[in-house]
Amino acid sequence: MPIRFWTTAARIKWVLGIDRQGAESFADARRRAQEAAQILASASADKPKVALVAHGLLNRYIKENLEKMGWHVVRDGGDGYLGTTILVKLDS
């Protein structure tokens, strides 16, 4: 089977909570992404540029949370390997 099949099947099982065997739950990962977004937002108050390196799905949820907090995507590098997405918080 192709690797894409295995990664898709594993992700579906993870989201549904099937056969976790001690792995972080999907809900916990979403909460961790929300916390990461808050940490980045707080860090950006002290320094104008902050960075986070993580895997694609976590990055997607961090981006979603930052957008809810008023951040805007200025560069969307996509979901591929080594994709880079840049968000900014515009001062009001």
Q: Where are the domains of the chain?
A: 3-89
pLDDT the model gives residue 66:
95
pLDDT the model gives residue 74:
92
pLDDT the model gives residue 61:
92
Q: Is 28 exposed, middle or buried (0-12, 13-18, 19+ CB in 10 A)?
A: exposed
pLDDT the model gives residue 43:
93
pLDDT the model gives residue 90:
80
pLDDT the model gives residue 57:
82
pTM of the model: 0.79
Collect the ranges in the chain with pLDDT lower than 50.
Answer: none
| Residues 6 or more apart in contact with residue 48 via CB below 8 angstroms | none
Residue 50 in tokens? 């902050």
pLDDT tens for 20-31 read 778 888 889 999
Q: Is 58 exposed, middle or buried (0-12, 13-18, 19+ CB in 10 A)?
A: middle
